[in-house]
Chain A
Amino acid sequence: MQKIIFTLFLAILFLNACQESGNTKTAKVERAVSNSTSIKRIPGLPPIYERFEDLAPIFEQYNDTTYVINFWSTWCAPCVKELPYFEALTEKYATQNVKVILVSLDFPKQLETKLKPFLKENNLQSTVLVLTDPDANSWVDKVNPAWSGAIPATVVYKGDTNKFYEKAFESFAELEGIITPFL
């Protein structure tokens, strides 16, 4: 059974990789979500990815959208501080093919108690996903080999152009400054 799922997963990956047209980005993410079995759905919470391999397709969407993928957590003070800049990005560039995805690394035990109320209170407009795969050594390099694992960390990519930042952004202007060259 697992083999079948894995094959299916590979097939989806392959199909995604082959599709180069724009405007299908969000659809792709959602398809990956709905086709995989290790993604948990809990009411009031974003999709919970228990294995990185199921999340991996969000880093491999080669079209004309600029993807801004930020790793954060409610317990990470510098992460929470820079979240408004990512939200502002979503608001300002919604019509310009910029897609912000906030990957929460909150712990499984704290999703209900910390993440849920945080999301409710802050009403985030960017896409939020949760990654709980504990074996970080197996996936940190797949996000970017330059990443040591410290958060916050941000990947920006469009097509083959890829930038990685292991740092907190100081202002919206600083974040915007790294996005605009992609547009």
Chain B
Amino acid sequence: MKKVFNLAILLVATIGLFVAATNSTKSGAGLEVGDTAPDFALKNIDGKTVSLADYKNAKGYVVIFTCNTCPYAVMYEQRIIEFHNKYAAKGYPVIAINPNDPAVKAGDSFEKMQQRAEAKEFPFAYLLDDGQEVYPAYGATRTPHIYLLDADRKVQYIGALDNNPQDAAAVTTKYVEAAIAALEAGKTPETTTTKAIGCSIKVKRS
């Protein structure tokens, strides 16, 4: 009888652990380096729907969660434009996604995105994460937040563009460029994740 009791305790404990493990995976949801990123279909500022699959000859994808209003996003705007102009031709286009709920941050509405893209002549797609389902699937937590995917949509790098948001001239390490150079050389990027200060993604309070 005691044996059965012990067994029952063990079983309950095992289930408990399993549930805890499952929950912790869930709470840390999102992509890690090595995961395959999901494709999406989001509305671009020109009204057309854009998916990663639309980029037929891409050797990789530079998915950037960014927005109009975050000062860090603004500081990186020009650098992202230049990055796309340099790397899209090499097969690594920028796909920018605004993850913020415009109901919380009016400056990040679809119309404001269009205005910003027009004013700055964005050469890349600037999509609205309408319904806010894409950013949690990727695990983005801030703007800007970059995911470099290879041709198979496998995540190769997550983090910042470089190591100095405030001053492009003072940058000493360009993380995404280095990661692409590694991929081009058939190697694994040396730095696969970096952290950066950024704005929280704006979500309606439940």
Interface residues of A (CB under 8 A from B): 73, 75-76, 78, 105, 107-109, 132, 134-138, 140-141, 147-152, 166-168, 170
Contacts A/B (CB < 8 Å), 10 sampled: A73-B71, A78-B200, A105-B197, A109-B166, A137-B159, A137-B160, A148-B141, A148-B198, A151-B200, A170-B205
Interface secondary structure of A, over-half rule: loop
Nearest 10 CB-CB pairs, A to B?
Answer: A150-B142, A140-B195, A148-B141, A137-B194, A150-B200, A134-B164, A149-B195, A136-B197, A136-B196, A149-B196
Across the interface, A150 reaches (CB within 8 A) one of B141, B170, B194, B205, namely B141
User: Within 8 Å CB of A140, what residues of B?
Assistant: 195-197
User: Within 8 Å CB of B201, what residues of A?
Assistant: 150
Q: Are B200 and A152 in contact (CB under 8 A)?
A: yes
User: Within 8 Å CB of B199, what residues of A?
Assistant: 76, 150-151
Q: Is B163 an interface residue (CB 8 A)?
A: yes
Closest to B105 in A: A77
Q: Are A135 and B163 in contact (CB under 8 A)?
A: yes
User: Which residues between 103 and 151 of chain B lie within 8 Å of chain A, taking CB atoms?
Assistant: 141-142
Across the interface, A168 reaches (CB within 8 A) one of B141, B165, B200, namely B200
User: Within 8 Å CB of A168, what residues of B?
Assistant: 200
Closest to B30 in A: A148
CA–CA, A150 to B205, complex, Å?
Answer: 17
Q: Are A134 and B195 in contact (CB under 8 A)?
A: no
Q: Are B165 and A134 in contact (CB under 8 A)?
A: yes
Interface residues of B (CB under 8 A from A): 71, 141-142, 159-160, 163-167, 170, 194-201, 205
Q: A148-B195, A150-B201 are in contact. Are A137 and B163 (CB under 8 A)?
A: yes
Q: A137-B163, A141-B195, A149-B195 are in contact. Are A107 and B200 (CB under 8 A)?
A: no
User: Within 8 Å CB of B159, what residues of A?
Assistant: 137
Q: Are B142 and A134 in contact (CB under 8 A)?
A: no
CA–CA, A26 to B205, complex, Å?
Answer: 36
Closest to A105 in B: B197
User: Within 8 Å CB of B164, what residues of A?
Assistant: 134-135
A48 CB, min distance to chain B CBs, angstroms: 13
A109 CB, min distance to chain B CBs, angstroms: 8
CA–CA, A161 to B138, complex, Å?
Answer: 31
Closest to B201 in A: A150
CA–CA, A76 to B197, complex, Å?
Answer: 12
Q: Are B71 and A149 in contact (CB under 8 A)?
A: no
CA–CA, A132 to B163, complex, Å?
Answer: 13
Q: Are A151 and B197 in contact (CB under 8 A)?
A: yes
Q: In the complex, which of the residues A105, A107, A108, A138 has the most CB atoms of chain B within 10 Å of its own CB atom?
A: A107
List 16 extra interface pairs beyond A136-B160, A150-B142, A166-B141, CB under 8 A. Answer: A109-B166, A132-B166, A135-B163, A136-B165, A136-B195, A137-B159, A137-B163, A138-B163, A140-B195, A148-B141, A149-B197, A150-B141, A150-B197, A151-B200, A152-B200, A170-B205
CA–CA, A38 to B28, complex, Å?
Answer: 37
